[in-house]
Amino acid sequence: FPFGYKVVDTHTLGYMHMIKRGLTPPTKNAHSALDLDALLNYVGIPEEPQPHIALNGALSHGEVASRLLYDRKLLPEFEQYNIPWLG
């Protein structure tokens, strides 16, 4: 396996973003409930359409990461959705 075991993913970014803003990340059964749909909701984007298509998931993760890290929209597919914490 060519990749290291230490990673930063959108779950980690979202969790830390919420903590920084004084919010409590959602939990279910005493574990984090921050899945992709919860993160999309948090950054102002509707849930991923069903059935799941890998390309939609990849684009969604990219948009989530951009909004969490840079407070910026990334892709034209999501331009219509505002970033909630920017007003």
> Helices (H) and strands (E) in the chain — how many of each?
3, 2
pLDDT for 1 equals 62
34-58 per-position pLDDT tens digit: 999 999 999 999 999 899 899 999 9
Q: Taking all residues of the chain, what is their mean pLDDT, rounded to a whole number?
A: 95
For the chain, give every domain's residue range.
10-86
CA distances in angstroms from 76 to 32, 65, 81, 86, listed in the order given: 30, 15, 10, 18
pLDDT for 4 equals 80
Q: Model-level pTM? A: 0.91
Coil, helix or strand at residue 1: coil
Structure tokens at 78: 């999501």
> CB under 8 Å to 73, separation ≥6 — which residues?
63, 66, 67, 79, 81, 83
Instruction: Give the pLDDT band of residue 87 (cuts 50, 70, 90).
Output: confident
Asked if residue 13 has pLDDT above 70, the reply is: yes
